[in-house]
């Protein structure tokens, strides 16, 4: 039962991580550059808005602005390249930004409340980073499984060709190689 649950969970995570990849890598260079400039402008405006604040509220505001910028840049990079590595960087940036803001908010507390707050923030970060790692592992596992499946299907097709002779066999093998990318 546990193995089945873990398999179902892994497949759901893989599906969720694969879905954005279908939409990635659709941005042109001009759009990418414009978006990058927009992120920079937004960051400067967000940081300037923090100047009116003081104390820990200002520190939290600055962390939120920095985190928002880092996440936006990571999302932009992933949208531009569509690479699984950039998706992983995006997930890590989100986890780290969330942690930095949560940790900064803990500074308003003291004693055990502050310690608990910091531990909770760290637990959320560790969980998010673990999920990012799982996504990376699933991507490589899926790629390996896909290759193994393709190799096995090619072997079956090649075996079927062995029953033939002459040009028919040559044509069959060539078709199988083309079909399975060998």
**Alpha-carbon gap, residue 72 to 62, rounded angstroms:** 15
- Taking only the tens place, the pLDDT of each residue in 122-163 is 888 887 778 777 765 565 666 666 777 777 777 777 877 887
Residue 101: which of 66, 55, 51 has the closest Cα? Answer: 66
Mark out the alpha helices in the chain (DSSP H runs).
Answer: 2-23, 29-50, 55-81, 84-106, 111-161, 166-179
- Taking only the tens place, the pLDDT of each residue in 21-79 is 444 456 788 889 999 999 999 999 999 999 999 999 999 999 999 999 999 999 999 98
**Alpha-carbon gap, residue 115 to 103, rounded angstroms:** 10
Q: Which two tokens stand for residue 38?
A: 């927009």
């Amino acid at each position: 039962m546990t193995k089945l649950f873990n398999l179902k969970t892994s497949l759901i995570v893989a599906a969720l991580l694969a879905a954005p990849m279908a939409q990635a890598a659709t941005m042109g260079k001009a759009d990418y550059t414009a978006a990058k400039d927009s992120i920079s402008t937004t960051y400067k405006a967000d940081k300037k808005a923090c100047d009116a604040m003081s104390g820990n509220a200002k520190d939290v505001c600055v962390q939120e602005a920095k985190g928002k910028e880092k996440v936006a840049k990571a999302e932009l990079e992933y949208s531009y390249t569509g690479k699984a590595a950039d998706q992983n960087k995006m997930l890590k940036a989100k986890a780290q930004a969330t942690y930095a803001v949560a940790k900064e908010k803990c500074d308003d507390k003291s004693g055990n409340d502050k310690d608990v707050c910091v531990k909770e923030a760290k637990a959320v970060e560790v969980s998010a980073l673990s999920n990012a790692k799982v996504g990376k592992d699933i991507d490589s596992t899926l790629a390996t499984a896909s290759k193994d499946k393709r190799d096995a299907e090619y072997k079956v097709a090649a075996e079927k060709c062995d029953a033939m002779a002459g040009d028919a066999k040559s044509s069959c093998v060539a078709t199988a190689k083309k079909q399975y990318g060998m």
